[in-house]
Structure 1
């Protein structure tokens, strides 16, 4: 084999092992996770649960299917739920779960409605899933929604010094990552005007992991498995550990400045890095608290009897820290 052919072969092999796996980016929306499907699965173990419904509130104004950004010709949507006849309010952006690959923002419309009824403007945000775009596209999208919200603060009557991000499961990981990476240039993206900061003032993480590389992480304990996180990052954990670390909110704990509320189920693997993060925040004097719903499933925040207490904890936290 001549030298030039050998170099070409080595380069080709290197690209095949290091490039993102484009087969995972199907371009077809994954509908495997939904509130209805999750309810059906959980009803077997928790026959008493009730999925909280999408029900308009008399004291809440709704604006659905707003466009907060465009990626080429692709519109990214957000829904607004606003307290009526209220002075300037805090705001929370709500990020849905589904393994970065499935789910949609409608799952948390009931939560947004209840928060708005209690005086907190709430926004359910769409972001590009891993079937459409790999990490960090979803991070860029949600940060763009923060900038959009600040640009439209007067329209929505919100206080830009009182903006929180909240997420469930994969959305919780995203909320945490957004919260701890303000000003980290590689995670900012260029959607919407950069004259507005993507920084937020508080984070609510509902059963979202803080680390893909922590010893307690599912990915660490199943190092050769290809799960939803690999399909989002575009690489198996064995190939790009640096990227898996970069996407882990715990990695940025030393620089974090914002308070955190963790609402957690009994699913231990979803809490990887939480206790270490809380310890670091304690050393820095940054308010961080953990509420455990030990009798509930991973998706407890979607159901009565846990929904009401979860809403109350969120409202109390926002009123305390913002």
Structure 2
């Protein structure tokens, strides 16, 4: 068993309400055959860990780079955005998938972003766009092709990834820049991340009047209090001619892809590619566990190869 540790200096305690192990214990009761997909101890990749890319009073934001051992030509990059209800989780969650990408010729970056315990929307969007800027500023060190960057997100991270990929050239999300590089990306992989908060398929509105939903906590207001805010945080409402090709990998729980089909319909007239894979009888978050881990990685690699490799 291998553990990939995260070092993050922060003044606010981390929210641990979501963890891979606790989710495993819960899901194993329903599916006793599942196992955790652990990181490899070694492989055909190199790692640079705990790189500070921005500093805030609430703590430094760090990232890790996992990249091929031998890469003489410019290489596409994949930015991984973890999930956890916009309040929990950490960048180590997707190290196993990042290692898979590196072993298949991609530079993988796992990054921190400010959670709702630290800052509300749109702070996380600024952070992820700044991670893209960091990637471009440091491209030479890792042989990264800055015209071939994908953002891949999972659950809440999937929503954020889709928002990054539908807001290229959108000035309202260009604040707090760490450098003058573009924050544009060229593709999105959304794994069980919703596309719309204010949507009939969404379940982000709390039915308990005494309890705010995790979305409302992150957004800073309930839907009734500020519908415009919920609308603006929804990738569906930004989708259009500036959107990028997008891969959806979904569980069998429909609410985790709220707005997906509507988004596909919006980008189709512009000839923007989309692809959907729904894995039957899968829990949320299936990508962290066997037997689904290998299938998810294969779908991702096939999509990336199609988009970026000659």
Q: Same fold (TM over 0.5)?
A: yes
Q: Could you say what secondary structure the match of 1:253 adopts?
A: coil
Verify the 8 A CA contact 1:165 1:203 in the aligned structure 2: yes
For residues 223 and 185 of structure 1, do their structure 2 counterparts lie closer, same or farther at Cα, with a shift above 3 Å needed? farther
Structure 2 counterpart of 1:92, from 73, 78, 87: 78
Give the distance between the partners of 1:172 and 1:222, measured in 2 at CA.
24
C-alpha deviation, 1:73, in angstroms:
7.1
C-alpha deviation, 1:308, in angstroms:
0.5
Verify the 8 A CA contact 1:214 1:220 in the aligned structure 2: no
Match of 1:18 in 2: none
Give the distance between the partners of 1:32 and 1:72, measured in 2 at CA.
23
Match of 2:56 in 1: 71
1:246 partnered with 2:232? yes
C-alpha deviation, 1:215, in angstroms:
1.2
Structure 2 counterpart of 1:276, from 251, 262, 271: 262
Aligned length in residues: 296
Q: Could you say what secondary structure the match of 2:239 adopts?
A: helix
Structure 2 counterpart of 1:142, from 121, 128, 131: 128
Measured against aligned partners, the alpha-carbon deviations of 1:11-48 in whole angstroms (never above 9, x if no partner) come to xxxxxxxxxxxxxxx94421110111111111111111
Verify the 8 A CA contact 1:28 1:132 in the aligned structure 2: no
1:211 partnered with 2:169? no
TM-score, with length taken from structure 1: 0.88
C-alpha deviation, 1:223, in angstroms:
8.8
1:50 partnered with 2:28? no
Output the aligned Cα RMSD.
1.6
Match of 1:305 in 2: 291
Verify the 8 A CA contact 2:239 2:267 in the aligned structure 1: yes
Verify the 8 A CA contact 1:219 1:237 in the aligned structure 2: no
Q: Which has more radius of gyration?
A: 1
Unaligned runs of 5+ in 1: 1-25
Indicate the structure with greater helix content. 1
Give the distance between the partners of 2:40 and 2:283, measured in 1 at CA.
23
1:178 partnered with 2:164? yes
1:32 partnered with 2:13? no
Give the distance between the partners of 2:206 and 2:116, measured in 1 at CA.
23
Give the distance between the partners of 1:249 and 1:118, measured in 2 at CA.
29
Match of 1:6 in 2: none
Match of 2:244 in 1: 258
C-alpha deviation, 1:221, in angstroms:
8.1
1:321 partnered with 2:307? yes
For residues 298 and 115 of structure 1, do their structure 2 counterparts lie closer, same or farther at Cα, with a shift above 3 Å needed? same
Match of 1:153 in 2: 139
Match of 1:23 in 2: none
Give the distance between the partners of 1:250 and 1:147, measured in 2 at CA.
24
Q: Could you say what secondary structure the match of 1:254 adopts?
A: coil
Give the distance between the partners of 2:243 and 2:118, measured in 1 at CA.
32
Match of 1:123 in 2: 109
C-alpha deviation, 1:75, in angstroms:
1.4
C-alpha deviation, 1:254, in angstroms:
2.1
Structure 1 counterpart of 2:273, from 284, 287, 292: 287
Match of 1:169 in 2: 155
Measured against aligned partners, the alpha-carbon deviations of 1:103-129 in whole angstroms (never above 9, x if no partner) come to 111111111111111111101110111
Verify the 8 A CA contact 1:223 1:237 in the aligned structure 2: no
Match of 2:175 in 1: 189
Q: Could you say what secondary structure the match of 1:66 adopts?
A: strand
Unaligned runs of 5+ in 2: 1-10
C-alpha deviation, 1:72, in angstroms:
4.3
TM-score, with length taken from structure 2: 0.92
Give the distance between the partners of 2:280 and 2:206, measured in 1 at CA.
22
C-alpha deviation, 1:50, in angstroms:
1.2
Give the distance between the partners of 1:184 and 1:274, measured in 2 at CA.
21
